[in-house]
A and B are shown apart, each in its own frame.
Chain A
């Protein structure tokens, strides 16, 4: 690379947090260089220090943090030595932040227009009227349809995607030289994320700005960035161009992380595949290894890795790496095995149904006295939905937030009572409400929850939690000794050490809590487990461990899953049957092969195309859904999807309810377009899920 001077260059930067009487190292010896017109990715798991680094580059730190070494040269000035007043002249004018949680980052008490205009008045010395006009202009540039109206609104009145547009409009007002984007799309749906990321790319290029894009999503980084820095345990592991990092990684952490990303693997008869995983847990701030921070989890670690910290080596002008063994990896004398493992299935598929849910209905708030008084429509969350789950099979349920997939899951486990419809468990009628279900029925359906942090009672130890479930649900009374033995067995099955029985939730990491939740769900070997986004709160490296675990346990016990996720790749990895939900309705279902290949429902097609592929050489097709999903209070007439459908064919979509067409092989699509026509329309587009080869 023959670029000129960098926009910002951090050299040997170290940051410490005050902890009790001492200081803990949050960032150690970090180098980071960003050149003009570059989008630089910063990847790391939680606790890696990526947000600390991103904000430190703006010289913004928590009250208990300090820079203990190194320099940050921005635009020729070492900003580790500037005064607060000097920093205020830089903030908002030369460096701007696009924050993670847009709603929380906007002041709830001022209008959008005022919050943008404030910047114009401060840095561009505009008068009130010009600043307001400038704000409206900025809103127009981030493609907000009615900028005058939006400027007069308050943050909470906008959708998540709109709020994020406002933050980018704010950041760009002064045409800053550097943008720091701190996980700005993490909270958004994948379809909205795709639109927002397109917008970022376009605006950053248009403004000749440089950007640091912080994310845990490797796919997003691959599709958006020019170069990437990988952070682990507060240190830079590797930094290189996107192509090098994704196609020729030389750091064991990068290699393992990429390999652990969930993806569908061609099914082999009688065999299951497991994702390669990174063992162990990312170190916390307080107990980072003294030598190589990654050594305890590294598949290639040798003696020196545990005794000596490797230096951050500059391989060439654009590539750095911190590893004792990178040369062996680079010249292929050391190969880290990343091939998915094939394992034999102990429990082959079996005929028969675990669950039949027919014509389920659920409306919230429509029936209450208050609802009737105010004449507000109820939220029709689930509308005449039928799902069937085979024995030893996994139904994957996908859709955007608000599609009703979580409500459907809660209706099936009985946490929410159905308004209408029938449930059958193992061919016997099942009571709708959980309180009315018998012990035998309860035993057969269990659930794994999304948020590991509140999945366990903070006042019960792991052992108590599992024992209580056994006591309540076992078919025969168990003695204390039997319960203890079973608890030990369960912990072993989720690969937790025996002594974890005495631990309390606060002493566990997120991944460990989720393993306990899985152990609890499997305690009495149910026929069906409903898993509601069980990996979405977890780090990438932990996600694959949990997915493998779910796969293993399914193989051992022949349990069926209803697996809900917004992550289509995770669903593809685990599910053999997939249903796609939109606004309370199933728009497509079939085997995962059928659903992920064409023809698809236009909504499924858009969902798949919105997934960022962790391979910079694949440019996926750009099918974007514009606008937000309509409210489930006012469901559109005709086809529910017509307001956003990129393949809308005409008035029929607005007026007539589309047919549920059979595309062959129990594959159904709810669309006015005939399946053959859909297949023709979609044939030439690459598939980001099936085509990605890493």
Chain B
């Protein structure tokens, strides 16, 4: 059943050109994140003597920056952070968010009221502002970025799951489960969670896209992964000053970020259309 449905979703993604392109782009970037650093001709911090400010050529496909580092290699190395961090944050916020959402959606009442109010308050702080305050005080680090984004996105996921859980809470099959004495955990994760999955999958893909967006923006503002390790957002910021001499050092990371986000957005849009037409799997 589940396998068939996964295959069905994949088939539908392939049928729509935009979604197919998006999926392929995401796959390519995932591969880059895993194998990128071993494919790179240079280390990210290797300063090549006499090779500063070189335009793209056969030796340096994307040119070199003002210090003489190979931009292409730095982009390959940097792929790991910009993809890995959002993957982890998406995974964690979906896990926490669905647990919280399922609980308050199923129980309702006072618990729901109190928790929802706290979640709403967290959402009342614009994402980037909260991120700046936190990273500004505890100092920028990968773990810090993960904590911030998980804190930001857990309430969003929780709200989505909550409303989906509210919809099925009074369904006959949930009551039938209660009448055969199932535990709350069984009802939450075996009876309710599957019907919440479509909403959750779409939300996860959206969260992934926004997490990349946010990670890149933090990098640009200097609060991402710290130098000398390559961060696409910071590479853009660093290359602004020397744009006249090394425009490629600005364009290459910008284009990389753009392509990654476009790919994820196309895939996410495809998923949204599929699950909308299905009217949800539940």
Contact = CB atoms under 8 A, between A and B. Distances in A.
Interface string B155-199: 000000000000010011101111111100000000100110000
A449 interface: yes
Nearest to B5: A459
A454 B180 contact: no
Interface stretch (A263-271, A468-476, A597-605): A468-476
Given A449-B172, A454-B172, A454-B173, A459 B1 contact: yes
Interface in A51-82: none
A454 B175 CA distance: 10
Contacts of A451: 172
A541 interface: no
Interface string A498-531: 0000001000000000000100100000000000
B1 A461 contact: yes
A457 B181 contact: no
A434 B281 contact: no
Contacts of A414: 179
B59 to A, nearest CB: 53
A446 interface: yes
Nearest to B183: A435
Contacts of A437: 181
Given A457-B191, A458-B281, A435 B178 contact: yes
A449 B176 contact: yes
Nearest to B191: A457
Given A454-B171, A455-B176, A457-B191, A504 B181 contact: no
B142 interface: no
A321 interface: no
Nearest to B109: A368
B172 A459 contact: no
Interface in B45-61: none
A415 B172 contact: no
Interface residues of A, number: 28
B98 to A, nearest CB: 16
Nearest to A435: B178
Given A461-B1, A504-B1, A456 B181 contact: no
Centre residue among A415, A451, A457, A461 by max chain B CB count within 10 A: A457
B282 interface: yes
Interface string A472-487: 1100000000000000
Contacts of A473: 180-181
Nearest to A437: B181
A457 B179 contact: no
Contact of A459 (B171, B182, B194): B194
Contacts of B175: 415, 447, 449
Given A454-B172, A459-B1, A415 B281 contact: no
A669 interface: no
Nearest to B195: A458
A413 interface: yes
B168 to A, nearest CB: 8
A458 B168 CA distance: 11
Interface residues of B, number: 19
Contacts of B191: 457
A414 B182 CA distance: 14
A442 B179 contact: yes
A359 B194 CA distance: 40
Nearest to A505: B173
Contacts of A468: 180
Contacts of A434: 178-179, 181
Interface string A299-341: 0000000000000000000000000000000000000000000
Contacts of A454: 168, 171-173
Given A449-B175, A459-B1, A461-B1, A469 B195 contact: no
Centre residue among A415, A435, A459, A472 by max chain B CB count within 10 A: A459
A469 B194 contact: no
Interface in B223-275: none
B181 A455 contact: no
Contacts of A457: 173, 177, 191, 194-195
A455 B1 contact: no
A487 to B, nearest CB: 15
B173 A455 contact: yes
Contacts of B194: 457-459
A415 B195 contact: no
Nearest to A457: B173
Contacts of A449: 172, 175-176
A591 to B, nearest CB: 29
Given A457-B194, A459-B195, A504-B1, A447 B181 contact: no
Interface string A437-453: 10100100111011100
Contacts of A456: 172-173
Contacts of B281: 458-459
A449 B174 CA distance: 11
Contacts of B178: 415, 434-435
B176 A520 contact: yes
A122 to B, nearest CB: 34
A473 B177 CA distance: 11
Interface string A518-553: 001000000000000000000000000000000000
Given A437-B181, A449-B172, A459-B282, 14 more contacts: A415-B175, A434-B181, A439-B181, A442-B179, A447-B176, A449-B176, A450-B172, A454-B171, A454-B172, A456-B172, A457-B177, A458-B194, A459-B1, A459-B195
28 contacts: A413-B179, A415-B178, A434-B178, A437-B181, A442-B179, A442-B180, A442-B181, A447-B175, A449-B172, A451-B172, A455-B172, A456-B172, A456-B173, A457-B191, A458-B194, A458-B281, A458-B282, A459-B1, A459-B194, A459-B195, A459-B281, A459-B282, A461-B1, A469-B180, A472-B180, A504-B1, A517-B176, A520-B176
Instruction: List the 9 shortest-distance A-B pairs measured between CB atoms, nearest first.
Output: A449-B172, A455-B172, A454-B171, A459-B194, A472-B180, A457-B173, A454-B172, A442-B181, A458-B282
